[in-house]
Amino acid sequence: MNLERVEALVRELLKEIGEDPDREGLRKTPARVARAYEYLCSGYHAEPREVINEALFETAANNMVIARDIEVYSLCEHHMLPFYGRCHIGYISNDKVLGVSKLARLVEVHARRLQIQERLTHDIAREIREATNAAGVGVVIECRHMCMMMRGVEKQSCVMQTSSVLGCFHHDPATRAEFFSIIGRRADW
């Protein structure tokens, strides 16, 4: 990302909205915004398979693995406003499991791109299935969207929930029910 170019664009944006980019409080804002977007969009410069690295481990177990309440922070691709919440992941291993921190890192890689929540949920599930050859994967994301809270319909309490279920999580109602029961699907934040 060309930070100098982004700084210049932010400076122009400040002028267009009626601000003076040279006033005391805004002098360093273009540089701060450029660095913020470099971080918030860092997923474009990361490959999910590289994030997994060598943290894929052989196992004879084929039990359900669940990671709940992984924080999610992303930017809506429609308004470039934040959405935030929690991600819950479950999968049934065939013969490989991911290091637990890699689940959170996969969420980060995909969330640090301009997104819609529906695609984010699906991409995480697909990535886990491909990496582990899991018998099934379930991903649920619950988020609040600033584009709904700060503008438009201005609904402060709305929580959007999306799910992606693959393999046995999709075609076996008992497996799917067990996953949803364990994660509890609550939004108490």
How many angstroms from the chain centroid is the CA of residue 39?
14
Instruction: Determine contact, residues 65/43, Cβ cutoff 8 Å.
Output: no
pLDDT value of position 158: 94
Q: Do 26 and 106 belong to one domain? A: no
pLDDT value of position 49: 85
CA–CA dist 12, 14 (Å, integer): 5
Locus of tokens 């990496």? 131
The reply to whether 47 falls in a domain is no
Q: Do 138 and 66 belong to one domain? A: yes
Tokens for 16? 């267009």
Q: What is the CATH number of the domain that holds 23?
A: 1.10.286.10
Per-residue pLDDT tens listing for the chain (189 residues): 999 999 999 999 999 999 999 999 999 999 999 999 999 999 999 998 888 887 878 887 788 999 999 999 999 999 999 999 999 999 998 888 998 899 999 999 999 999 999 999 999 999 999 999 999 999 999 999 999 999 989 988 999 999 999 999 999 999 999 999 999 855 444
The reply to whether 156 falls in a domain is yes
Q: What is the CATH number of the domain that holds 86?
A: 3.30.1130.10
Three-class DSSP category at 133: coil
pLDDT value of position 26: 97
Q: Do 68 and 150 belong to one domain? A: yes
The reply to whether 46 falls in a domain is no
Give me Rg for the CA atoms of the chain: 19
Q: What are phi and psi of 151, to 5 degrees?
A: -145, -175
Tokens for 174? 């008992």
